[in-house]
Amino acid sequence: MLQAGWSRRAVARVFGVHHSTVGRLAERYHTTRSSNDRPRSGQPHVTTAAQDRANRLSHLRDRFRPATRTAAETTGTHHRLVSARTIRNRLQADGIRPYRKYVGSVLTPQHRRTQIQWCNAYRCWTLQRRSQVVFI
């Protein structure tokens, strides 16, 4: 489109991106004859995008699945180990938060009935009556 004489802003409007993005891509293509990403500095990811999607899906299917179990079952690129922290970071980036099972007594129907009876007995109390209660 740019070679056809279009302006950068016109091309950006067609693709719904900022005009500087079009300019950067055009400059990269002009210098390297390719629009592919250049190699980046820094440590490469230990998991592939496909592994990240699979881990995300397994955690969506089982919300109580610990990240340590997922890390133990995942082999990273070049057969490296994947840490549980890496799994947690990737899940957090996808907006998946950890869940823990409730540890405590489950309320039975009898508990609920007694709670409702207590609430019904004391809901009509005035502020003056409530202030007379002494906690020991």
29 pLDDT above the threshold of 90? no
Is pLDDT of 34 > 80?
no
Q: What distance lies between CA 110 and its chain's CA centroid? A: 39
pLDDT at residue 80, as a whole number? 85
Q: Which residues, in sequence order, are CB contacts of 85 under 8 Å at separation 6+? A: 67
| Whole-number pLDDT of residue 8 | 81
The pair of structure tokens assigned to 13 is 């409007």
pLDDT per position as a tens digit, 93-128: 999 998 888 888 888 999 999 999 988 988 888 888
